[in-house]
Amino acid sequence: MINKISFKIGMLFFVFILFVEILLFVILYLNLANTQANEVMDNLLARGNTHRDVLEDHFNASTIDHVGMMESASDFTVVITDPNGNVIVDSNHIEAEMKAVIQKALQNPIQSDGEIISSNWKENQYIASNSIIMTGNEVKGHVFMFAETNKIKHVLNEMGKQFKLIGLLTFIITIVTIFILSKLITVPLIRMKKATENIQKEKGELPLDIKRKDELGVLARTIKELAEDLTHLKTERNEFLSSISHELRTPLTYIKGYADILSRREINKTDTLKYSTIIKEEAEQLSILIKNLFDLAKVDQHNFVINQEWILLDQIIQSVIRRMKPAFDNKNISVVVQCPENLKVYIDNARMQQVFINLLDNAQKHSLHNTSILLKVVEHKRSLEIIIQDEGEGIPNEEVPKVFNRLYRVEKSRSRMNGGSGIGLAITKEIIESHGGNIKMESELGKGTKVIITLPKDEK
């Protein structure tokens, strides 16, 4: 329970909101308490000053007695003294604390407008004010007003009870709200956890709400896309392993089989030469396959390095055609090259030769006898296009987007002599993209195939 994210989020919200609520309640309570006490003290001072003003105009026994009678019916106590502190009249019994306050006030100077002389309502029994009765420049006496602090404390106690009740209700509402909010937040996260577990266990079910418009919806869609990518990756991996094991097994089977034949004593020199040649060809085929696999491994590990330099493109093309001339002559295929002279491109010489060899080899393998292959270079302002077009058997439209996938063959039953290993085009695509370019293929069944390479002209 403690380790659940819903509990952790709920507790985090709870502690934070509880802290804020307590802080707000304390501030509000103190402000209300001080406001209440200040209202009582302001009222006390105002009443004392009112009595003072009346007595300054009519300082006689009748008026003094009238003030005392009037306050005897109120919640306040008035004490009128002469300048020396002798009590002339009081509206209620004078407590010892009142006497102490009066004696202390007479010893200290006071403002002519009057002032609060005892304001500590939390500890004292009374709060008090002192207003001086003046006639001209002569002090006639003092009007002391007293109010019991119990009344303030009673009001604040009642207010405290209300605050406690409101606080309890707020506490309950807060807990319920936090519980609901934490569930709303954590339920999608729990579903995502189950979805990732399903991905790990290779279950197809992903209980995710991908229709949400918030960050959780984005995360859900990302997990769903990741699951689909992983499924696709696993499928490709299984196909890759199956294909590569077949590609490795075939030459090894030939090598082992013909090596067994060569080990026989009765074999003649003609057969020995024949089978040795086959073993050599299969070993070379195996070597090429392993080299291509190493290239793919470098791509996956981001170690596929290209060393670019400014090179004449026409020289590379002519060099590749010379190397491949025997293969073209074998099928009487003519290669037509249309490339601007002195066109320099910023490329890796060896890697680009590898591209031309892969593409031209594919073209000649799938071309008919007595046909031609066009290799055309079109120069644009910021890029150049390299087009290799044959008059071969072509590829079905639905297969064209897949030809650059690793170990993909248009016809799974093709022989290795005609179909290749399915790695060359994947490596070709990586080389072109490493140069900052792109490659695409267009094909029509029975009419031929066109490969279009686009490369930047500047250094990238």
Mean pLDDT by 10 residues, the chain (460 residues): 61 77 81 83 88 87 88 87 87 87 81 80 86 84 89 79 81 78 70 71 61 71 76 72 70 82 81 84 77 70 76 92 88 93 90 89 89 94 92 87 73 47 79 91 90 85
Q: Torsions phi, psi of 84, nearest 5? A: -90, -5
Q: Which of 398, 384, 389, 404 is nearest to 447 (CA)?
A: 389
75 and 148 Cβ atoms separated by less than 8 Å: yes
- CB contact set of 331 (below 8 Å; sequence gap of 6+): 364, 367, 368, 369, 370
Instruction: Report the DSSP beta bridge partners of residue 334.
Output: 372
**Quick one: fold of 309-456?**
Heat Shock Protein 90 (3.30.565)
Q: Take residue 400 and report the two structure tokens written for it.
A: 């064209």
**What are the extents of the domains in the chain?**
5-155, 215-300, 309-456
223 and 208 Cβ atoms separated by less than 8 Å: yes
pLDDT of residue 453: 95
Q: Torsions phi, psi of 449, nearest 5? A: -130, 145
Query: DSSP secondary structure string, 269-325?
Result: HHHHHHHHHHHHHHHHHHHHHHHHHHHHHHHHTT------EEEEHHHHHHHHHHHHH
Entry pTM = 0.48
Task: Give me the amino acid identity at 4.
Answer: K
Element (H, E) at 349: helix 349-365
User: 215-300 sits in which CATH class?
Assistant: mainly alpha
pLDDT of residue 414: 44
The CATH homologous superfamily to which domain 5-155 belongs is: PAS domain (3.30.450.20)
pLDDT of residue 424: 78
Beta strands in 104-229 (DSSP E): 115-118, 126-135, 138-148
Q: Give start and end residues of each alpha helix (H) in 209-268.
A: 215-262
Q: Which of 153, 95, 158 is nearest to 128 (CA)?
A: 95
- CB contact set of 386 (below 8 Å; sequence gap of 6+): 375, 376, 377, 452, 453, 455
pLDDT of residue 416: 45
